[in-house]
Chain A
Amino acid sequence: ETGVTQTPRHLVMGMTNKKSLKCEQHLGHNAMYWYKQSAKKPLELMFVYSLEERVENNSVPSRFSPECPNSSHLFLHLHTLQPEDSALYLCASSQDRRFSGYYEQYFGPGTRLTVT
């Protein structure tokens, strides 16, 4: 595997379900991100982890819970979601900006989530 991978690619869940999205990066990066992409809206940053420590949380509802067990893996745990949470969830990775003059984010293919 190369780059950034995400599983599953598609997920349909009921409002009472609990599910998890998984992301894995094979680029040797030390920062990972979750984004939400809805139709007709710019990319929304949800969470940032650098060196496995959460450094940004943009007021995301508590029904979304991230987990970063190591620098290569990132999870997004979902529970009691709402239909408006249906979107493409993208994972990205980069080098931490503190260790590089500029940094580039590399994205996975995304998980298309539908909440019914």
Chain B
Amino acid sequence: TQLLEQSPQFLSIQEGENLTVYCNSSSVFSSLQWYRQEPGEGPVLLVTVVTGGEVKKLKRLTFQFGDARKDSSLHITAAQPGDTGLYLCAGADPNNAGNMLTFGGGTRLMVKP
């Protein structure tokens, strides 16, 4: 069974600060997705990374996939209150032909104005 550990679990910062969220595993993933979920809503897909070492940018958000495809990070520059939410990473098992994703436990981010 693959596991994904996210850290930190909770993060409370002031507007304008930078932060990094980590998603780690001992298993290899064929792809990894990052989602943001706001209270009372479903997760919204932010990005998918597929290639080891890949870096993708989405405005102030930078996503990186580890070279060995076992870990990923999300860096937010100059955080804003609108970034508040639950951030989830999810990986696809390359050895499982099914459609399951393994989800991390999430990082709950609060950005104070």
Q: Which residues of A pack against B, CB within 8 Å?
A: 4, 6, 31, 33, 41-43, 45, 48, 50, 55-56, 88, 90, 92, 94, 96-98, 101-110, 112
Contact = CB atoms under 8 A, between A and B. Distances in A.
A102 B98 contact: no
Contact of B99 (A101, A103, A107): A103
Interface string B4-34: 0000000000000000000000000011010
B103 to A, nearest CB: 4
Contacts, number: 64
Contacts of A48: 98-100
A42 B42 contact: no
B98 to A, nearest CB: 6
Contacts of B48: 102, 104
A28 B30 CA distance: 23
A42 B106 contact: yes
B100 A45 contact: yes
Interface of B: 30-31, 33, 35, 40-45, 48, 50, 88, 90, 92, 97-101, 103-106
Contact of B45 (A101, A106, A109, A112): A106
Given A109-B41, A109-B42, A110-B40, A104 B33 contact: yes
Nearest to A58: B100
23 contacts: A4-B42, A42-B104, A43-B88, A48-B99, A48-B100, A50-B99, A55-B98, A55-B99, A88-B40, A96-B99, A97-B92, A98-B97, A101-B50, A102-B30, A102-B31, A103-B31, A103-B92, A103-B99, A105-B101, A107-B44, A107-B45, A109-B40, A110-B42
Contacts of B101: 45, 105
Given A33-B99, A48-B100, A106-B45, 11 more contacts: A42-B104, A45-B100, A90-B43, A92-B42, A103-B99, A104-B45, A105-B90, A107-B45, A108-B42, A109-B40, A110-B42
